[in-house]
Each structure stands twice: as C-alpha cells, then as structure tokens.
Amino acid sequence: MIFFRSLDNKKKYSKYKKRLEEKNIEYCPFCDIKKIIIIKKFKYWFIAESKFSYDGICKTDNLLVVNRHNSSKEDLSFLEFFEYWNITTELLNDYDYIIEDSFKKLDFKNHYYIHLIKV
Ligand SMILES: [Zn+2]
C-alpha cells in the first residue's frame, strides 16, 4: 500500500484534524488567508503551499485552490473552469503530476482544490 503522506506528516495531520473536530467548527483552511502561504494568484484561483503535503510520494505538493468557498468541481463557473484549464495546461510544464482527490478522499469538501506535484 502506498501512503501519500510520510508517517510523521500523517501524525501531524491527524492531530490537526482531531483538533478541528474537537472544536466542532466549520473551519476552512483555504479561507483562512492569514495562515496560507500563497505562491501565485490568478483571477479565480491561487496556488498555495500545502501544510500537510503528500511528502510520502513527492518533493513538492502545492495546491491549486479556487477563490470561492462552497465550491465543487461540478459547480465551477464557466470563467473559473476556463481559467483552471489554462492554468493546469500551463502548469504541466512546471509540475510532474496534477492530482485530484476523489470526493470521498477530499478532506475539505466545501472548497475545491487539486494537488500540483513535483516528484
Ligand atoms: Zn473555504
């Protein structure tokens, strides 16, 4: 079995998620702008550093995140999707893989994002 996160990172992430559950709040890490390290901004999207990266499988795991909360892949607007398509097409030159978590694997289901991977 392949683990996307190293054991150490997996433990940190579990602790982080448990803390959020204990607080029982609707917390969205992608809307907490003060805590995000933004690498690049676009009109409808931004690229951010992943706090709990897939360090078990790669060197770099950045996230491409849509600006809008309460978003899913299905309800992206035409303009959001058009920009997404342009960004991901261009980024394929900079990254090795673009990974989209399936809905059951998404940890934050109310804010759409994908992983940008360099191995
Ligand atoms: Zn959000």
Query: From ligand 1's centre to the CA of 30, what distance in Å?
Result: 5
Q: Tens digits of per-residue pLDDT, 14-35?
A: 998 888 888 777 788 899 889 9
pTM exceeds 0.85: yes
Query: What's the longest Cα–Cα distance across the chain?
Result: 41
Q: Is 1 inside a domain boundary?
A: no
Q: How far is the CA of 26 from the centre of ligand 1 (A)?
A: 10
- The answer to the question of residue 77 being in a domain is yes
CA distance 31 to 39: 15
Q: What is the CATH number of the domain that holds 96?
A: 3.30.428.10
Cα of 45 to ligand 1 centre, how many Å?
12
DSSP state of 35: G
Number of domains in the chain: 1
The string of pLDDT tens digits covering residues 65-101 is 999 998 888 999 999 999 999 999 988 789 999 999 8
Residue 39 Cα to ligand 1 midpoint, Å, equals 17
What is the extent of the structural domain holding 47?
A: 7-118
Angle at 82 between CA 100 and CA 78, to 5 degrees: 100
